[in-house]
Structure 1
C-alpha cells in the first residue's frame, strides 16, 4: 500500500469509535522520566509532604509500579518504553551487542533499536514532538520538533536535532549525558547536577509553553547516576535533595504545559540496597560449566569511561576461561539478575555445546542454580528463565542470553573477575531493582487510590490511546483502556496499513554521524586476555 493510501487508512481508523468521534477529548501528553526512581524511596517523602507536585498528580490521577525488563537495565528498558516492543523485537538487551560469530561485543546506539519509537510514529502522523535525554537516542534522528539525545551521547558530537540546536545547548552549558559512559568523570557533584536540571527545566519549559506540540518526553538521568554511588560514599541527604529538586522541575513543567496536558511520570527500573552478592562468573567455574584458563593474567582494568571499562571487564572475564573447554559463560548482570550464554557450536567461534545437547545443558544449569542454598534451606535463586521465552522476536537468538537468572530480592548478582562466589554481611551496595514508578493524571484519566501494576511495553500503546491515536497491531503491550474516563476502546491498525511505522534504516538514512569513530568494542585477544 502506498503512503497516500496508508494515510487515508490511518485517518479512517482515527475516526472510528462510538459515533463519528472519540468519546474522549484528547489532550497533549507530557512524559517525565526519573531514571531509577522507586516507590520505596518516594513513599516516605510523599507521606512527609516533600514531593508536593508528584503528590498532586497522584491525588488527582493514579499510580502503579512499573515492571522493568529482565535484567532491569536502562539500555533495554528505555527502548521498550519508547517502542512498545519487547527486547527480542526491538533488538537491544544490554549496552553492548554481541558481534556475530565472535566473542566480541560493541557499544550500541540508536541505530540498533530496530522498531519505531513513539516520537517517530507521531512525527510521521503530523504531530510536533519534543524529546529530551532519553537513553539510547544517539545519534539523534530527525523528528518533527526537537530531539536531544541522552545517555551514550559524546559531548563533542552533534547530539541534538534540528541542525544547529546542539550549539545552542552548548552555549547554555547543557551536558547531554551525566554519567561516565563516554567521559572519564561523571558529573556527580550535587550542585553541578542541580545546575544541569535548572538548564534543562528552563529550556524545556520554553517549549512546553508553546501550543504547537502534542507529545513531549523528558528524562532526567541524574537520580540513577547519584544512586549508583557505593553506600559508604553516598550521603543519602543528597538523594533526597535531588528528588526534591526533580519535584520542583516537575511542577514547573506541568504548569508550563497547561491544563490541556495529560502528565505521565515514570522510571525505567527501581533501586535497592543489597547486602548479599552472588558472583555468577565464579559459580559457573566452580560448577564446572566454565573452564578456568590456567595461563590467564588479569591486569588492572583501565580507568576512564564506563564504556571502555565495561568492554575491558567483559574481555577480562572471557580471558579467564579456557573457551575450548567451556560450556557456558556469564554475560550481563544488573541488580538481582544475571545472564548466561552457552558456548554453542556454530554460533560461538570455539563453541563446544552441540545444538542437540543445548536443552540438556540449559536444564542442568537451571537445576544446579535452583539448588543453591544459603544458609541451609534458603534458596538464592528465585527463577531461571529461558531468554527465548522472555524475549521472543526476530532478534532473540542474536542478542538475548540463553538463560536469565533471577535471584531472591535481597541478593545482588555480579559477574566479577575477582572475589568469592557468595559474599554476605558486607556494607549494602546500591543497584537496580525490577519495579519502577508510574503516575498518570489528566482530565481523561480515571482517578484511583489503588496502586496498579504495569509493564514497560504498556507505555507506548497507552500513550497513543491518550493521544487518541491508532495503535499498531504489533504493539505487544496493554493500552489499559480502563485508566481513561470514559473507558475508551483502543483503535488498532494493521502494520501494513500504517505508513508511520518507518524503519530505523529509513529513519537514519543519510545521517552523518560516523559511529565507527565513536564505537567501543570488547576484543578478547586485542586486550591481551585471550589465548
Structure 2
C-alpha cells in the first residue's frame, strides 16, 4: 500500500450492488460466507434503506451526494422530456450536486473511484476515476486521466477490463452457466484493479462498486429458489454443481476477504449496497389499465389515426403498440431503438412517445404512467404538450382521488393489498428539480410489480402470469428496498447491530470518518450511534452551513448536460433492455 497519505485518515467504501441480508444471513449461518461472517462480528451493521424507487441510477447517486433526488436530479436512468411525452437517457452530467469525491478533491484529498454507477462522463478529480454503469461501451473515454484507460488491461492482471458484465447477453439463451462466468469474471477484475491502483496511487478515499451480485439476482434467481415457478432441478443439474447465486456471493466473499487483508488497521471500511433483491413473482400491475378503468386515461380506438397527426401515431403504434399484429411482441425495444436513426425526425419523436405511452389519446387523458415504474403523471396544462388538467385545485383534487382509490388495489386471487402507499412527490423530495419528478409515486412490496403491458391485450390492471409468460421475461429476480451497511475501523463499535439507516447517511458518515465536515445541503446524517464514545468526544459532529451550488435546471454539476450520440444511446438502451429495465 502507498504510504503517501498514511498520516491522514483514510476510508474505503466497497459497494456490492444489490447485496441483501436476506441471502447473507442464512448463508453466514450455514458457514458459506466467512468474510461477511467476520464483518458481522467486528463491525457496526444495519439494513440500509434505499430510495423510492430503489434502482441503480438514483440509489447510488443519492448515496454519494447524501441528498434526495429533488436536489441532485437523477431520478432514474432516464428523465422526462417535457417537450414531448418521451424521455431521454441520463448520465453523470445530469447530476446537479457534487459527489463525495468532488468535495474531497476540492479539499485537496486524494481519491480513487472505480465503477460507481452514474459517473460517465468521468469528471476531473484529485486522483483517478473509472466510470461505471452509464459508460456507453469500451470505446468511450471513460477514465480520468484519459491515459489510465490504456493501463487497465495490465491493472486487470492481463484480463480484459469489465465495466458492466455481459451477463444480460446470455439470459434469453437460457445459459445460466455463461451468465455466472461473466459475473465471476467481473468480481475478479474489479478487486484486482482496485488493489493494484491502491498500491501505486496515494489515496484518502477509495470508492468502488462490484455489480455482479445484482446481475446474479436478476438472472440466476430461478436457479436458486426452489419455490420459483421456473425452478427446474434437471436443468440446474446440467449447468451447475451447486446453487449459482451462492457461488457468486462466495466469490465476492473470497475476494473481499483477500482485499481487506491488504489494508492497514487504521483504515475505516464501509461495505454497502444500493438496494436488496428478491424473486420477481407472477403478479403484474399495469397502471395505465387501472387509470383507464377509473376513466382517467383514454386509449385510442381503431380509426382514431384518421384524426390530424393520427396517421403518424398509427404508424408508430404499429411498431410498438400492444396488439396481436403489432411488432412490439416480436421486435425488441432495443431493435426498435436501433432503427430510429433511419426514420424522419417527426416519427422518431412520436416513436419515443409511443414506446412509453402506447396508444394514449392525450386530449381525453387526465393521468398516465410509463408503467415500467410505479409513477403517475398528471396531464398538466402548461407542462405537458397536450395537458388538460388545470394547475391548482383541479390538480390537487385529481391527485387526492388517485391516492384514495389506488391504495386499495388488490390481488385478484388472494385479495391482498398490493400498494403500501401512494406518495405526492413533495412528500418524498425537495429541491430545485422536484418538479421534474412524477406527480405521484406508487410504493408497493417491490418496484418491479409495475410492468408494461407488453403483448397483453386484456384490460385487467392486475393479473397473474402463466409459467409460459414468466419464461419470456428477461429476469427472474428483482430489487427490494433494503440493502446492507457495514462499518469497521478504530472509531467504530464492533459487533453492533443498528436500527435501519438511510442510504443518504453514507456520504456524511464517510466525510466524518475522514475528518471533513458535511455540507449543510446534505439530507443524510452522521451515524453517530455506530461510533465509539472516545471517537465522538475527540471529534464532535460538525456540519458546515452551505447552500447547494447554484445550478441551471438545464445543467448538471459540471455545466451543460452531455447526452449520448446515436451509437452510445443504443449501447446503453440495449443494456437497460437486457437487464429488464425496458
Question: Do both share a fold (TM > 0.5)?
Answer: yes
TM bin, normalised by shorter chain, reads 0.7 to 0.9
Q: Is the 8 A contact 1:38 1:435 kept in 2?
A: yes
Q: Which runs of 5+ in 1 are unaligned?
A: 1-24, 523-531
Q: Is the 8 A contact 1:135 1:152 kept in 2?
A: yes
Give distance in 2, aligned partners of 1:278 and 1:468.
47
Residue 323 of structure 1: CA displacement?
1.1
Scaled by the length of structure 1, the TM-score of the pair is: 0.84
Equivalent of residue 276 in structure 2, options 270, 275, 285 = 270
Equivalent of residue 62 in structure 1, options 10, 25, 44 = 44
- What SS does structure 1 have at the residue aligned with 2:362? coil
Moved more, 36-45 or 199-208: 199-208
Give distance in 2, aligned partners of 1:391 and 1:73.
16
Please name the residue that 2:433 is paired with: 395
1:133 matched to 2:140? The reply is: no
Give distance in 2, aligned partners of 1:478 and 1:206.
33
1:123 matched to 2:105? The reply is: yes
Give distance in 2, aligned partners of 1:481 and 1:278.
40
- What SS does structure 2 have at the residue aligned with 1:371? coil
Q: Is the 8 A contact 1:66 1:267 kept in 2?
A: yes
* Structure 2 CA distance for partners of 1:201 and 1:51, relative to 1, 3 Å: same
1:354 matched to 2:390? The reply is: yes
1:459 matched to 2:495? The reply is: no
Q: Which runs of 5+ in 2 are unaligned?
A: 1-6, 225-235, 237-241, 303-316, 339-347, 471-475, 574-582
Equivalent of residue 315 in structure 1, options 341, 349, 354 = 354
Residue 405 of structure 1: CA displacement?
0.7
* Structure 2 CA distance for partners of 1:106 and 1:179, relative to 1, 3 Å: farther
Give distance in 2, aligned partners of 1:212 and 1:448.
31
Q: Is the 8 A contact 1:153 1:182 kept in 2?
A: no
Give distance in 2, aligned partners of 1:305 and 1:160.
27
Give distance in 1, aligned partners of 2:556 and 2:405.
46
Moved more, 113-122 or 383-392: 383-392
Give distance in 1, aligned partners of 2:79 and 2:201.
40
Please name the residue that 1:167 is paired with: 150
Q: Is the 8 A contact 1:142 1:161 kept in 2?
A: yes
Give distance in 2, aligned partners of 1:410 and 1:105.
19
Equivalent of residue 204 in structure 1, options 194, 208, 213 = 194
Give distance in 2, aligned partners of 1:516 and 1:147.
22
Please name the residue that 1:386 is paired with: 424
- Any idea what the Cα deviations from partners look like across 1:328-387, whole Å, max 9, x if unmatched? 1112645xxx11111111100011111131011111111111222335753222111011
Residue 217 of structure 1: CA displacement?
0.8
Q: Is the 8 A contact 2:50 2:481 kept in 1?
A: yes
Equivalent of residue 257 in structure 2, options 246, 251, 259 = 251
- Any idea what the Cα deviations from partners look like across 1:458-491, whole Å, max 9, x if unmatched? 1100110111111101111111122112234211
Residue 138 of structure 1: CA displacement?
0.6
* Structure 2 CA distance for partners of 1:279 and 1:313, relative to 1, 3 Å: farther
Within 5 A, what are the aligned runs for 1:7-406?
A: 27-154=9-136, 155-170=138-153, 172=158, 173-178=160-165, 189-210=179-200, 212-229=202-219, 231-232=221-222, 237-273=243-279, 274-295=281-302, 296-297=317-318, 298=321, 299-301=326-328, 302-303=331-332, 305=334, 308=337, 315-331=354-370, 333=372, 338-356=374-392, 357-374=394-411, 375=413, 378-398=416-436, 400-406=437-443
Q: Is the 8 A contact 2:62 2:72 kept in 1?
A: yes
RMSD: 3.3
Give distance in 1, aligned partners of 2:89 and 2:531.
40
Give distance in 1, aligned partners of 2:77 and 2:258.
33
Q: Which has the higher strand share?
A: 1
Residue 275 of structure 1: CA displacement?
3.7
Residue 179 of structure 1: CA displacement?
5.7
* Structure 2 CA distance for partners of 1:454 and 1:107, relative to 1, 3 Å: same
Q: Which has the higher helix share?
A: 2
Moved more, 408-417 or 139-148: 408-417
- What SS does structure 2 have at the residue aligned with 1:105? strand
- Any idea what the Cα deviations from partners look like across 1:148-202, whole Å, max 9, x if unmatched? 1110212210111111111222564102122689999999622232223222211
- What SS does structure 2 have at the residue aligned with 1:283? helix
Q: Is the 8 A contact 1:152 1:182 kept in 2?
A: no
